[in-house]
């Protein structure tokens, strides 16, 4: 646990035992989820978000209480081409903000570092520092999400160039996997838009009036990112449709070749069938050059049909 007390524009690290509710002071703490019970009682925080407010599949949720917000988030990142999320819980009151997670994330570290190094600039004239810290977290979430979206865009553009260079099964599997990654981010951003809407509603008046405009700006950014990822999702669907259309065109071309081959051999089969009949009297069978005549006729017929197909641009 790392606990800090904020007084005016100064922030100072304190012992975790001293992290207790005090209306005259403001507190900021970063804890492991196993340490939650050590501080929850000090600030009258519920131990978990109720199921009614929780999206269990994506570990997302927000709940409004009289003295605080309880928010469950996922911090997205790209690892080896896959979207990985790190669950983080935020507990935000008028004079405290507690970050709870089972592992450290770059986002939390960057927010903590910025607060410690630029406390005078960040906290200047802030009657409620927890609002500013919460804004910083969401602002970093916007940047983090934007980075993930740009990486997904880059990978999808690469897929577009490979669409006709790999086998069908491999490409279909890659497109399905990519669509799942995009859907995960889309679902996450839709939720973040909802969270920012709840914060702007400010039912428990935790957010100061002068900070509402900043959270409104965050809400606009989340909505823009949600729109961008929606377009990316549609692009993947279009890419798959284009790939399937190209595969269908290739199959149609193959079937056309087979059809023309069958068309060429159809009259040859007819000729062979006629002269293969077992009648006792067939004058052509007795001619000296009958065999060569039939073979020549069949060759001329085949070549003539090939020229006809080329003239019609079917070949």
Q: What is the rounded distance in angstroms from the CA atom of residue 89 to the CA atom of residue 102?
A: 10
% residues pLDDT > 70 (the chain): 88
Q: Using the predicted structure, report yes or no on whether residue 160 has a pLDDT greater than 80.
A: no
- Give the residue, 207 or 315, on which the prediction is more confident: 207
DSSP strands (E only) in the chain:
2-7, 10-14, 26-32, 54-55, 60-64, 68-79, 82-93, 96-101
The pLDDT assigned to 184 comes to 83
The strands making up 68-79's β-sheet, listed across from edge to edge, are 10-14, 2-7, 26-32, 96-101, 82-93, 68-79, 60-64, 54-55
Provide the whole-model pTM.
0.72
CB-count exposure of residue 59 (10 Å: 0-12, 13-18, 19+): middle
Whether 119 and 10 have beta carbons less than 8 Å apart is answered as yes
Quickly state the pLDDT bin for 54 (edges 50, 70, 90): very low
Instruction: Convert the pLDDT of each residue in 272-308 to its tens digit.
Output: 888 788 777 777 777 778 888 888 988 998 888 888 8
Task: Delineate the domains of the chain, giving CATH numbers in brackets.
Answer: 2-248 (3.30.460.20), 251-311 (1.20.58.340)
Residues 79-110 pLDDT 10s: 877 888 888 888 888 888 888 888 878 888 88
Buried b (16+ CB within 10 A) or exposed e, 136-165: bbbebbbebbeebbeebbebbeebeeebee
- Alpha-carbon span 25 to 6, nearest angstrom: 6
Mean local confidence (pLDDT), 220-247: 81
* DSSP-derived pairing of the beta strands 26-32 and 96-101: parallel
Mean pLDDT value of segment 147-161 = 81
């Amino acid at each position: 646990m790392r606990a800090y007390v904020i007084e005016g524009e100064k922030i100072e690290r304190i012992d975790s035992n001293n992290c207790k509710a005090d209306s005259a002071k403001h507190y900021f703490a970063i804890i492991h989820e196993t340490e939650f019970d050590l501080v929850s009682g000090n600030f009258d925080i519920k131990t978990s978000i109720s199921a009614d407010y929780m999206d269990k599949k994506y570990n997302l949720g927000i709940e409004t209480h009289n003295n605080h917000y309880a928010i469950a988030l996922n911090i997205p990142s790209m690892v080896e081409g896959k979207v990985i999320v790190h669950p983080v819980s935020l507990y935000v009151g008028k004079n405290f903000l507690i970050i709870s997670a089972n592992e450290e994330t770059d986002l939390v570290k960057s927010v903590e570092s910025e607060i410690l190094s630029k406390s005078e600039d960040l906290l200047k004239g802030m009657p409620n520092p927890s609002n500013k810290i919460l804004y910083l977290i969401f602002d970093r979430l916007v940047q983090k999400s934007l980075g993930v979206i740009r990486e997904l865009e880059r990978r999808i553009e690469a897929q577009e160039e490979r669409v006709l260079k790999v086998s069908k099964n491999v490409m279909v599997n890659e497109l399905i996997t990519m669509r799942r990654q995009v859907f995960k981010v889309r679902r996450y951003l839709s939720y973040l838009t909802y969270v920012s809407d709840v914060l702007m509603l400010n039912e428990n008046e935790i957010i100061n009036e002068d900070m509402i405009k900043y959270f409104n700006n965050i809400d606009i950014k989340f909505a823009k990112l949600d729109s961008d990822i929606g377009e990316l999702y549609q692009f993947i669907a279009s890419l798959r449709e284009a790939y399937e259309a190209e595969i269908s065109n290739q199959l149609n071309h193959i079937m056309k070749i087979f059809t023309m081959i069958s068309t060429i051999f159809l009259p040859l089969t007819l000729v062979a069938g006629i002269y293969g009949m077992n009648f006792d009297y067939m004058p052509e069978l007795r001619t000296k050059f009958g065999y060569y005549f039939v073979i020549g006729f069949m060759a001329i017929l085949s070549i003539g049909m090939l020229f006809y197909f080329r003239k019609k641009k079917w070949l």
